[in-house]
Chain A
Amino acid sequence: MTVAPKREDYDVVVIGAGPAGLAAAATSAEAGLSTLLLDENIGPGGQVFRAIATTPVTDRSQLGADYWVGADLVQALRASNAEIIHRATVWSLDRNLDIAVSIGGASAFVRAKRVILATGALERPFPIPGWTLPGVMTAGAAQTMLKSSALVPDGRTVIAGQGPLLWLLAAQILRLGGRIDRILDTTERGNYFAALPHAFAFLTSPYFAKGLSMMREVKAKVQVVSGVTELSAAGDGQLASVSYVAGGKRETIPADLLLLHQGVVPNVNLAMSAGIEHRWDDLQLCWSPVLDANGSSSVAGIAIAGDGAGIGGANAAVVRGRIAARAAVEALAPAVAAKLPSMATLRTDLAKAERGRMFLDTLFRPAPQFRIPTGDTIVCRCEEVTAKDVLDSVAIGATGPNQLKAYRRTGMGPCQGRLCGLTVTELMAQARAKTPQEIGYYRLRAPVKPITLAELAAVPKSEADVKAVVRG
């Protein structure tokens, strides 16, 4: 079933139906604002609550209590008057708050008085030798299959990397009867000391008890190798083995599936293509939008909530969604805003939800050798550009990611830099002895997700004249 937006103009358009988007759309619609929620997936939930309304997993303990929180958010949204469209890919947003969205192969244009971007996070690239081999995938992709289809690995499986989601996925796979042969923990030993000053906040946060019990649960069933300092995948056209170095010793183990994960980073593509200013976050090692306390960006009328505003996790995302929506209500329907929870209350909630984040960010800050590859390791998968290719281009005058396009076409493929952008920025920064902020990022342009020529051709005709002008 294909549903086009009912109107051309909305008070608020929310993009993304993860925790932030669900909360924002419900708040905005409950306050009486005309609200449209556009979401790319087949149902609500985003990644963290993926398939919350449809998952075949019925034993609640298998996915964990945190997962089922999503059901309440969905219920609140559905009780509101928000218009919700799934399988809706927003492919353009500009500073006039004009939005182009593809729904079921047809594109529509809508305009909003306020836009709340809740496009969430992406997994950080993990560019090790062999990461492009079939049989190597991201932990997030594995989790998507697990949540939507209850599919778990049954071949020889190695999970490598670090971060809370890695442990969560491992626990979920095991609970559903999946196989994990070994976990290779790449957390840097020094990070434990660096994180120590933030430990108190973490110990008193809800993450601590949950995280600890999950790690215990996994470690009871799987051999975990910590302090991994080198990692590579090998095979002839298909993953056959994983090699690693831990404690100075190299080991190679056979494997059919390697799941890689070293944290998530804001999904910035739509926001950047709208011209929103971003800055390099040196702790989270990613680009984050420049936002005020209400989540408002540098482009008037566009706010960002959830992990797209800087990684904060699902609980913080929900509160950020409410804050951004409340700000929209204050601007568009001030009389109604008084009935909503006050900003002060929301900010207290946010502080609580963000407790322990510094500790996690510091502990799970990925090591340089797993972010900045060398030699023949592929950086850009779309154009098959290696680390050496990038360095060679720097040597003959490429100064930043946009200049690099002229030499190597990096970032010009269909992924628009999602899989290489951070790597290219950090690699060029290292090569040129500059900060990532100075090096910058790709200029991103619509369509943020590809659309077919036929779909664009089917867009209703404009009044524009067709005076022939040829160009050189």
Chain B
Amino acid sequence: MTRNVDAIVIGGGIHGCSTTLHLCLAGLKPVLIEKDYAGRHASGVNAGGVRQLARHIPEIPLSIRSMGIWEKISDLLDDDCSFESYGQVLVAENEEELAVCRARVAELNALGFTHEELIDAAELQRLVPAVADTCPGGVVSRRDGAANPAQTTTAFRRKAQQLGATVREGVAATNIRYINGLWYVDVGSETFAAPVLVNAAGAWAGKIAAALGEPVPVETVAPMLMITSRVPHFIDPVVILRGRKLSFKQFKNGTVLIGGGHLATPYQDRNETVLDWESLATSARTVFELFPVMRSATIVRAWAGIEAKMKDDIPVFGPSSRHRGLYHQFGFSLHGFQLGPGAGAVMAELIVNGGSQTRVSELGIDRFHPSTL
């Protein structure tokens, strides 16, 4: 039996969940389809960075929009998502790196963006006393912070459900087709039909886009993270490095999350990843050098989440260039978590109003269309 709804969202990551919630807020009745469970992959197991810092320029408006939502996340979700805002700091380890930072901040200022702020060695030491004192400065984005990714994604799913969204977890969306102005999707023995289809299927979204005639240069990646045992509190902001792959965050309970984008081997069809310990050892060495206090900490667990990475490292976001009623929201390329709340809000505006005040025009799928190449 076919059930008619207002929109079908495929993918229960933070993006699919956020879009579903914002469609509910706009008065629509959407269905969310997730083949595993909400937050099973990258959205639930990423570093939880809520970061405007060091973003690609085309996605900065979306990031700023999102930041406003993060700061009131409890009002939206009735859940604090363990969001905390101690800033994010990009560390320059030498003068050359600091020069790059200086140029970057000047470029952003010229475009009217002021969230990134150049800092000297003294301010860096004040913000991150544990960092090696040879570092000459860096960039801070003071409103940034971190949240618990699984808690956040779950909270979006739960709130959407409370507001009337239908959620199907544990069953894949199959047999996607467009007939007489409606999108049809099979979910196990059920069929849903709606005028709107949102492709927010993360690492699985590229296949859906390709099947619908919009192939894009996307690959599946699995960035690795590891977490330590509890160590005495020594750092508040999230720290990332300019020149080396490292992100670093201490939680309230004392555990320290070490990431930075070293990749595991994804086995997408099995929902599995195989970790690359030699790369993780590189991360460990970087931490060992920069934060002597961490040397005796133990590594308790390492993991990787499966996600989509675009060739140009910025997401595919907005209406399809081929099909009416189809919208893409995927390919966040290792930095989609912070964008989730804002992207859901903007996507709902695109669907309901046909446009948004937030500029996302450079993120469209048409940038890959043969006619535009």
Spell out A's residues near B (CB within 8 Å). 92, 94-96, 100, 109, 275, 396-397, 399-400, 402-403, 405-407, 409, 412-414, 416, 445-447, 450-454, 456-462, 464, 466-472
Complex Cα distance, B264 from A275, in Å, reads 15
Nearest-neighbour CB distance to chain B for A123, whole angstroms, equals: 22
Q: Is the CB of A447 within 8 A of B299?
A: yes
Contacting pair A459 B277 (CB below 8 A)? yes
Which residue from B51, B148, B294 sits with its C-beta under 8 Å from A406?
B148
Complex: how many Å from CA A82 to CA B284? 33
The CB with the most chain B CB atoms within 10 A, among A109, A416, A470, is that of: A470
**How far, in Å, is A108 (CB) from chain B's closest CB?**
11
CB <8 Å contact, B282 and A452: no
Contacting A at CB under 8 A, from B298-325, are 298-303
Most buried by B among A94, A457, A471: A471
What are 15 A-B contacts with C-beta separation under 8 Å? A95-B274, A96-B274, A399-B169, A403-B154, A407-B151, A407-B154, A446-B275, A447-B299, A447-B301, A450-B300, A456-B277, A459-B277, A461-B285, A462-B279, A470-B261
Choose one: B39, B278, B302; the contact of A446 (CB below 8 Å).
B302
Cα–Cα, bound, A402→B38 (Å): 11
B337 at interface, CB cutoff 8 A:
yes
Question: From A407, which residue of chain B is reached at the shortest CB distance?
Answer: B151
Among B49, B240, B301, B302, max chain A CB count under 10 A is at B301
Q: B299 to A451, Cβ gap below 8 A?
A: yes
For the complex, give the distance between the alpha carbons of A472 and B14 in Å. 13
Q: Which residues in A have their C-beta under 8 angstroms from that of B242? A: 468
B299 in contact with A472 (CB, 8 Å) = no
Q: Is the CB of A406 within 8 A of B261?
A: no
> Which residues on the B side are within 8 Å of A454 (C-beta)?
288, 295-296
The residue in chain A whose Cβ has the minimal distance to the Cβ of B301 is A445
Shortest 7 CB-CB contacts between residues of A and residues of B: A406-B150, A462-B278, A472-B335, A469-B261, A459-B281, A450-B298, A456-B284
Query: Is B229's CB under 8 angstroms from A445's CB?
Result: no
- Is there an interface contact between B278 and A464, defined as CB atoms closer than 8 Å? yes
Q: In chain B between 61 and 97, which residues have their CB closer than 8 angstroms to a CB of chain A?
A: 90
**A57 to B: closest C-beta gap in Å:** 34
Chain B, interface size category, equals 35 or more
Taken together as a complex, chains A and B put the C-alpha atoms of A459 and B261 apart, in Å, by 19
Please tell me if the beta carbons of A453 and B287 are within 8 angstroms of each other in the complex.
yes
Bound together, the chains give a CA A399 to CA B312 distance in angstroms of 37
Which residues on B sit within 8 Å (CB–CB) of A95? 267, 272, 274
Closest to A447 in B: B299
Among B50, B275, B303, residue most surrounded by chain A Cβ atoms (within 10 Å): B275
For B151, the chain A residues whose CB sits under 8 A away are 406-407
B275, B296, B300 — most chain A CB neighbours (10 Å)? B300
**Could you tell me the distance in whole angstroms from the C-beta of A10 to the nearest C-beta in chain B?**
18
B143, CB-defined interface residue at 8 Å: no
* B274 partner residues in chain A, CB cutoff 8 A: 94-96
Inter-chain contacts of A402 with B (CB < 8 A): 40
Nearest neighbor of A94 in chain B, beta-carbon distance: B274
Please tell me if the beta carbons of B228 and A453 are within 8 angstroms of each other in the complex. Answer: yes
The answer to whether A471 and B44 touch (CB under 8 A), given A406-B39, A414-B298, A450-B229, is no
Q: How far is the CA of A447 from the CA of B90 in the complex (A)?
A: 29
Given contacts A399-B37, A406-B44, contact A470 B301 (CB under 8 A): no
- A412-B300, A461-B278 provided; 7 other pairs, C-beta below 8 A? A413-B300, A453-B287, A459-B277, A462-B278, A468-B241, A469-B334, A470-B54
Q: B336 contacts the other chain (Cβ, under 8 Å)? A: yes
Contacts of A471 in B (CB 8 A): 46-47, 49, 223, 247, 259-261, 334-335
Partner of A397 from the list B50, B154, B227, B339 (CB cut-off 8 Å) is B154
Task: Name the A residues within 8 Å of B336 (CB-CB).
Answer: 472
Q: How far is the CB of B284 from chain A (nearest CB, A)?
A: 4
Q: How far is the CB of B243 from chain A (nearest CB, A)?
A: 6
Which residues of chain B from 236 to 265 have any CB-CB distance to chain A below 8 Å in the complex?
240-245, 247, 253, 259-262
Query: Smallest CB–CB gap between B186 and chain A, Å?
Result: 23
Q: Are A92 and B275 in contact (CB under 8 A)?
A: yes
Q: Which residue of A lies closest to B278 (CB)?
A: A462
* Set of chain B residues within 8 Å of A92, measured between Cβ atoms: 275, 277
Q: A469-B245, A470-B335 are in contact. Are A456 and B260 (CB under 8 A)?
A: no
Q: How close is A383's CB to chain B, nearest CB, in angstroms? A: 9
Contact of B301 with A457 in the complex, beta carbons under 8 Å:
no
Please give, as numbers and ranges, the residues of chain A lying within 8 Å of B40 by CB-CB distance: 402
Interface 1/0s, chain B 24-55, versus A by CB < 8 A?
00000000000001011000101101110010
Contact (Cβ within 8 A) B295 A275: no
Interface residue B338 (Cβ < 8 Å from any Cβ of A): yes
| In the complex with contacts A397-B154, A413-B300, A470-B260, A453-B284 CB distance below 8 A | yes
Q: Which of A412, A452, A460 has the most CB atoms of chain B within a 10 A radius of its CB?
A: A452
Q: Are A472 and B46 in contact (CB under 8 A)?
A: yes
Q: Is B126 part of the contact surface with A, judged by Cβ < 8 Å?
A: no
- Complex contacts, B90 vs chain A, CB 8 Å: 470
Decide yes or no whether B158 CB sits under 8 A from chain A.
yes
Cα A113 to Cα B179 with chains together (Å): 53
CB contacts (< 8 Å) of A96 on chain B: these are 274
A471 to B225, CA, bound (A): 11
Judging by beta carbons under 8 Å apart, are A452 and B158 in contact? no
CA distance A278 to B25 in the complex (A): 42
Bound form: Cα–Cα A150–B280 in Å: 42
The reply on B270 being an interface residue by CB < 8 A is yes
State whether A412 and B335 are in contact (beta carbons under 8 Å apart), knowing that A407-B151, A453-B287, A462-B279 are contacts in the complex: no
Please measure, in the bound complex, the distance between the C-alpha atom of A405 and the C-alpha atom of B148, giving whole angstroms. Answer: 11
Write the chain B residue with the least CB distance to A462: B278
User: Across the interface, which residues of B come within 8 angstroms of A406, CB to CB?
Assistant: 39, 44, 148, 150-151, 154
Q: Are B241 and A464 in contact (CB under 8 A)?
A: no
| Docked-complex contact A466 and B282, CB < 8 angstroms | yes
